[in-house]
Amino acid sequence: MLKEAEEAQGHKLKIVVCVSGGGTNLQAIIDGISNNTITNAEIIRVISNNKTAYALERAAKHGIPSVCIRPKDFMDREQFNQALLHAVQESEPDLIVLAGFLVVIPQEIIHAYQNRIINIHPSLIPSFCGTGYYGIKVHEKALERGVKVTGATVHFVDEGTDTGPIILQKAVEVEEGDTPEILQKRVMEQAEWELLPKAIDSIANGRLTVENGKVRIQGGKL
Ligand code: GRF
């Protein structure tokens, strides 16, 4: 297609989604694109580090190409990191979305894609985040501490663990009798599945900038 024609149609944000498990956040992105909550974006590839991740079936059902890259298929971590970098680079994404990806992102990828990698974390950062706080553990710790409110955060990924510029947060109430599993489900339903599509839509439509380590939203609010 001619460059002018492409520009006239508008450039769609090309997204690579990295997953490890159920893929409900991947599903929220797929649904957001199909119901136009997310515009100007397309998922071009799903990368999983786990062959049995249900997220891979979700990708297949929607005709999204996927690839599985597992640490155990490589001699050492460095080779796995290189394979991951290669899988990302050959897709030429505009944005990488970590949607429940349980792999520590190699520094090389972080440097190559500054302010172009986002992550969803199931707490209100800076609470219950950092090394060791992932998946169900986050909710276990929140209940152990007895907080009355928790939530989710979408943020850009930098060199640290859960330390990058915050894009969006939403609070979710803890209820009497919550187990980690019940709380995890409520945080997903009430916060994660809403925040992640919203953040992607804002990036795809140029409404976010990062200045001095902080996210600025055009118009002040999403
Ligand atoms: C979500 O709670 C996400 O916040 C966390 O891992 C979980 C992934 O769930 N990082 P899913 O695979 O998207 O269903």
- What is the per-residue pLDDT across 87-127, written as a single tens digit (0 to 9) for each? 999 999 999 999 999 999 999 999 999 999 999 999 999 99
Mutation pick for ligand 1 pocket among 17, 18, 25 (CB with most ligand atoms within 8 Å): 25
Return the pLDDT at 1. Answer: 41
> What's the gap in Å between 25 CA and the centre of ligand 1?
6
- Can you tell me the mean pLDDT for 177-203? 98
- List of residues 6+ apart from 65 with CB closer than 8 A: 44, 45, 46, 59
> What's the gap in Å between 69 CA and the centre of ligand 1?
18
The verdict on whether omega for the bond into residue 65 sits within 30 degrees of 0, i.e. cis, is no
pLDDT score of 9 more than 70: no
pLDDT score of 221 more than 90: no
pLDDT band at 6, cuts 50/70/90? Answer: very low
Return the pLDDT at 219. Answer: 79
Within 6 A (CB) of ligand 1 lie 19, 21-25, 55, 99-100, 120-122, 135, 188, 192
- Can you tell me the mean pLDDT for 7-20? 85
19 phi and psi angles, rounded to 5 deg: -135, 165
